[in-house]
Amino acid sequence: MALDNEQQLAETVHELANLITTGQDDLFMNRFTALHDFEKGQVYAALPENIREVAWRVMDDETLATIFDNLEIDPEEIVGLLEEMPEQKGADILVAMFADNEADLLQAMPAKKVANYLALMPADEVKEIKRLIKYEDDTAGSLMATEYLAVKRSEKVKDVLRQVKKQAEEAESIIYVYVIDDENHLIGVVSLRDLLTHPDDMAIDSITNTRVISVSADSDQQDVAQVVADYNFFSIPVIDADKHLLGIITVDDIVDVIDEEAVEDYSGLAAVDVSDTDDSAWHSAIKRIPWLLTLLVLGLASTALIGMFEHTIRQAPILAAFITIIAGTAGNAGTQSLALAIRHFGNGSDQSGWKNLFSEFISALVLSIIGGAVLALVTMLWQGNDGLALAVGLSLALSILASSLLAHLVPALLNRLNIDPAVINGPLVATVCDWASILIYFSIATAMLSGFVGK
């Protein structure tokens, strides 16, 4: 039913392109306008460039603004589409767009281009958009739209309903109406539901919920998403330090934030950026190389560490067979601890760090005892050498313990320093766990060598 597969999209694009080619502009506009807003964006971006060249001439600024508001592609690509038009047309479309999307596009342009577009906009629009652009990425300010409905507490239900009807086309969300005082301080919220279910002559004051939940413009977008998800809000107001109402963030933007933050955590764990799966093979390889080479260089330290124990290995070559299982299992335990720690600290949990460390220690201790016992038992049965079994079992247990604590402490430390622990990636931690495991393993094996060589 949706244009949710490539074939349906291709057919629609083909059909619409044909209407343009054969000069049936009115029919094209009829068919195009019947599409959902998201589909308008999909189709517009998929039209051949020479057809699009005609299409935007046929459309008014409002239709084009709707298209540009609903394009779910990289801002850079959207800017590319905008630049297919004369600068004045582009500026007009930017002005007609929702302010948050307009700001996103301007932020994706080089400064010179931004200046060109701003020079072609009305002065009050320039002032507002400059205010929005200054908010840092990933903050509430960068997400908020400035198209919202705010009314005074003394107004009547019927008057507010009239404003809702008037502004319905422009405001991004009319599910909540915000109540402000004369200095634009946010003092409450009224839901459209309440407006519809109360008498026309009632004062807004008496149905205003003054326990309005808001976020400040510099809040982290992840915290905003958490509040909206918990409270099941359709939108949330954004205020400044003096509680002035600045804008609103709607739930559709929150959906994007949750997706984006999840991709970030996930990419970190795999040391690869998965945010764009449509990349070409060449780009994909290029993007993976830096981390892979970094890890390779760090891995060379493991090689050097094992090389230091060449003498031990010469006396007991069987020791080499246990390197991957000890380093690998410790690395797995470390990755688990890291994943738990990133989620834990990333969720803004403010529990006592010491309590968590103790939990992690107990949990790692149980894991290490069981893991070590299993490996010792299997080695005993396989090699029939109790000295060797003891050495590898002990090494595995200590390696799991060290790796788990390491992978917990590093994100805990970063969290304490107010750095998002998601910057550490899984393979990096696994590499550091490798170092620890190798040192532990060969130190123990060297010390216990006489206990199993020649048996």
Footprint (CB under 8 A) of its own copies, residues 313-352: 313-314, 317-325, 327-329, 332-333, 335-336, 338-340, 343-344, 347, 349-351
Amino acid at 186: L
Residues 160-189 that bind its own copies (CB under 8 A): 161, 164-165, 168-169, 174-175
> Shortest approach of its own copies to residue 289 CB, angstroms?
6
> Shortest approach of its own copies to residue 337 CB, angstroms?
8
Contact 228, 251 (CB under 8 A): yes
Q: Which of 114, 378, 448, 449 binds its own copies (CB under 8 A)?
A: 378
Collapsed DSSP state (helix, strand, coil) of residue 25: helix
Sign of CA dihedral 43, 49, 53, 54: negative
Asked if 18 touches its own copies (CB under 8 A), the answer is: no
Nearest to 221 by CA among 348, 74, 349: 348
Of the candidate spans 56-64, 74-82, 137-145, 364-372, the one that interacts with its own copies by CB under 8 A turns out to be 364-372
Spatial separation of the C-alpha atoms in residues 366 and 355, rounded to whole Å: 17
Provide the mask over 213-232, with x wherever binding to its own copies is found by CB under 8 A and - wherever it is not: xx-----------xxxxxxx
Q: Which residues pair with 311 in a beta bridge?
A: none
> Shortest approach of its own copies to residue 223 CB, angstroms?
8
- 17 vs 171 by CB, closer to its own copies: 171
Of the candidate spans 50-58, 73-81, 120-128, 356-364, the one that interacts with its own copies by CB under 8 A turns out to be 356-364
Write the CA distances from 200 to 23, 159, 195, integer angstroms. 51, 8, 8
> Shortest approach of its own copies to residue 283 CB, angstroms?
9
**Cα 98 → chain centroid:** 22
Asked if 248 touches its own copies (CB under 8 A), the answer is: no
Residues 402-431 that bind its own copies (CB under 8 A): 426-427, 430-431
Of the candidate spans 11-19, 119-127, 138-146, 308-316, the one that interacts with its own copies by CB under 8 A turns out to be 308-316
- 22 vs 303 by CB, closer to its own copies: 303
Asked if 234 touches its own copies (CB under 8 A), the answer is: yes
Write the CA distances from 283 to 104, 286, 411, integer angstroms. 24, 5, 30
Asked if 206 touches its own copies (CB under 8 A), the answer is: no
Query: Please, which residues have CB within 8 angstroms of residue 171's CB and are 6 or more apart in sequence?
Result: 147, 148, 149
How many residues touch its own copies under the rule CB under 8 A: the total is: 123
Asked if 375 touches its own copies (CB under 8 A), the answer is: yes
Spatial separation of the C-alpha atoms in residues 277 and 394, rounded to whole Å: 43
Residue 239 token pair: 């205020």
Residue 192 token pair: 């459209």
Residues 84-103 that bind its own copies (CB under 8 A): none
Contact 101, 115 (CB under 8 A): no
Pairing of strands 215-216, 235-239: parallel
Helix axes 75-82, 61-69, angle to 10 degrees: 160
DSSP assignment, residue 254?
H
Task: Report CA dihedral (223, 229, 230, 232) to the nearest 10 degrees.
Answer: 140
Asked if 358 touches its own copies (CB under 8 A), the answer is: yes
Sign of CA dihedral 55, 56, 60, 65: positive
Q: Which of 14, 36, 416, 455 binds its own copies (CB under 8 A)?
A: 36
Asked if 8 touches its own copies (CB under 8 A), the answer is: no
- 91 vs 179 by CB, closer to its own copies: 179
Q: How many CB atoms lie within 10 A of CB 43?
A: 21
Q: Which of 1, 111, 123, 417 binds its own copies (CB under 8 A)?
A: 1
Amino acid at 24: Q
Collapsed DSSP state (helix, strand, coil) of residue 19: helix
- 117 vs 345 by CB, closer to its own copies: 345
Question: How many residues are present in the chain?
Answer: 455
- 61 vs 291 by CB, closer to its own copies: 291
Asked if 299 touches its own copies (CB under 8 A), the answer is: yes
Amino acid at 414: L
- 4 vs 124 by CB, closer to its own copies: 4
Asked if 29 touches its own copies (CB under 8 A), the answer is: no
Nearest to 8 by CA among 52, 43, 50: 43
Asked if 158 touches its own copies (CB under 8 A), the answer is: no
Q: Which of 51, 67, 82, 306 binds its own copies (CB under 8 A)?
A: 306
Provide the mask over 261-280, with x wherever binding to its own copies is found by CB under 8 A and - wherever it is not: -xx-xxx-xxxx-x--x--x
Tokens 């909540």 correspond to 176
Provide the mask over 100-139, with x wherever binding to its own copies is found by CB under 8 A and - wherever it is not: ----------------------------------------
